[in-house]
């Protein structure tokens, strides 16, 4: 029999993946949780996404929308998953979940703390007893306890509350939200790490555990070096815009053709940088000879460098700097970054059918991950998933009739 040709596309998975055989039940929506489960799915985990009757709400966070009517926000973090429409508010729906958890390795959910317990599905009282090997990861805003326990959390709110906004922007702009939802994405990444740690420990003990992930904690974990500076000098960190608070030159500069970013991380690198620019005496100037002096005299050095760069082609200059071992690069817009030759070489744009997205950054030599399937339409895989778990056609029909299984989103 002739073997089927591999699908055409870019950045596709070329192996079963490092996590092949891992089964993940995904009850998450929006961004932090779905980002985590997409990372797992990129590397071979089977991810079954159970969506409520209204679906993951970010299916509506557009425009733009794809041909199926799903927003880019959903499409961007839900590839490789299978979707089941399930109403967990009904007891029969919770029984379906319990049946799906038989043989599952990981449960990821981001309900408000206390919701699973209210439904009789709490980890300590129920899931730990019934599925002792299960790793249960909960993603929440603040956790279930403490002064803010149980309160809802959203990325921008947590950027504000953890200090991230206060160090972003400039003194003139005031605290500024980072343009990317960094707290949500970081929480997804930290959650992935926590799950893999728990699975590694399970290989020794045979037992699962509860992974308690919060946007609050993950936002706090992103405060380097500002928290470290504060702990050492007791001074409130302030927004510095593009310049680094501890290093100079480590900032954005204007050239004739584009803006560029220069990163001279130590004194030898600065001397090499000055030699490259034909300004060897600059590194001998007592105002600039050490990083500490350059931090104090930041404005004077910036003025010298911007005059030097004024007639340069920034793209060509930074390419020569990189070739000389000096960290630098042009400030690109998103469309330019996606079209860059190195982006293509690293397979960081992935395509399959009508789907395009950012590829996996995790490169493994023997078990490379990547795109396996387009993001699912709502409830696209209900019959296939439940049939594989032993549900008969009659049972599926009964569950549909009772409203437990939902085939079309309820607006």
Question: Comparing C-alpha atoms, which of 331, 322, 324, 327 is closest to residue 255?
Answer: 331
> Which residues form the catalytic set?
184
Spatial distance between the Cα atoms of 332 and 315, rounded to a whole number of angstroms: 10
CA-only gyration radius of the chain, Å: 25
- Per-state percent for the chain, helix, strand, coil, to nearest 5: 40, 15, 45
Instruction: Give dist(CA 219, CA 300) in Å, integer.
Output: 34
Length of the chain: 411
In 3D space, the residue among 230, 301, 227 whose CA is nearest the CA of residue 264 turns out to be 301
| Alpha helical stretches, state H, 206-266 | 215-220, 226-233
Coil/strand/helix, residue 59: helix
3-state secondary structure 98-128: HHHHCCCCEEEECCCCCHHHHCCCCHHHHHH
């Amino acid at each position: 029999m002739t073997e089927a040709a591999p699908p055409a596309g870019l950045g596709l998975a070329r192996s079963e993946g490092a996590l092949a055989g891992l089964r993940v039940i995904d009850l998450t929506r929006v961004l932090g949780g779905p980002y985590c489960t997409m990372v797992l799915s990129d590397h071979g985990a089977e991810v079954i996404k159970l969506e409520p009757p209204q679906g993951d709400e970010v299916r509506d966070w557009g425009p733009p929308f794809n041909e199926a009517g799903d927003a880019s926000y959903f499409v961007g973090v839900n590839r490789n998953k299978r979707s089941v429409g399930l109403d967990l508010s009904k007891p029969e729906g919770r029984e379906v979940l319990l049946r799906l958890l038989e043989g599952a390795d990981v449960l990821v959910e981001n309900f408000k703390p206390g919701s699973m317990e209210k439904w009789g599905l709490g980890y300590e009282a129920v899931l730990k007893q019934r599925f002792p090997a299960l790793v249960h990861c909960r993603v929440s805003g603040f956790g279930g306890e403490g002064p803010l326990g149980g309160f809802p959390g959203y990325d921008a709110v947590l950027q504000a509350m953890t200090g991230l906004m206060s160090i972003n922007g400039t003194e003139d702009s005031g605290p500024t939200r980072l343009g990317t939802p960094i707290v949500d994405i970081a929480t997804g990444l930290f959650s992935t790490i926590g799950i893999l740690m728990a699975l590694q420990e399970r290989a020794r003990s045979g037992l699962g555990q509860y992974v308690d992930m919060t946007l609050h904690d993950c936002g706090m974990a992103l405060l380097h070096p500002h928290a470290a500076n504060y702990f050492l000098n007791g001074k409130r960190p302030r927004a510095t815009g593009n310049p680094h608070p501890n290093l100079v030159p480590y900032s954005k500069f204007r050239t004739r053709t584009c803006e560029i970013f220069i990163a001279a991380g130590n004194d030898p690198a600065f001397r090499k940088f000055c030699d490259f620019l034909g300004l060897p005496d600059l590194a001998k100037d007592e105002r600039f000879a050490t990083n500490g002096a350059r931090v104090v005299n930041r404005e004077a050095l910036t003025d010298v460098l911007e005059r030097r760069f004024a007639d340069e082609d920034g793209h060509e200059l930074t390419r020569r700097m990189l070739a000389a071992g000096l960290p630098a690069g042009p400030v690109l817009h998103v469309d330019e970054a996606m079209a860059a030759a190195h982006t293509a070489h690293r397979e960081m744009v992935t395509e399959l059918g009508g789907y395009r997205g950012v590829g996996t950054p995790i490169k493994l030599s023997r078990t490379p991950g990547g795109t396996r399937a387009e993001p699912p339409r709502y409830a696209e895989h209900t019959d296939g998933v439940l049939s594989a778990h032993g549900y008969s056609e009659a049972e599926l029909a009964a569950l549909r009739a009772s409203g437990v299984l939902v085939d079309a989103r309820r607006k």
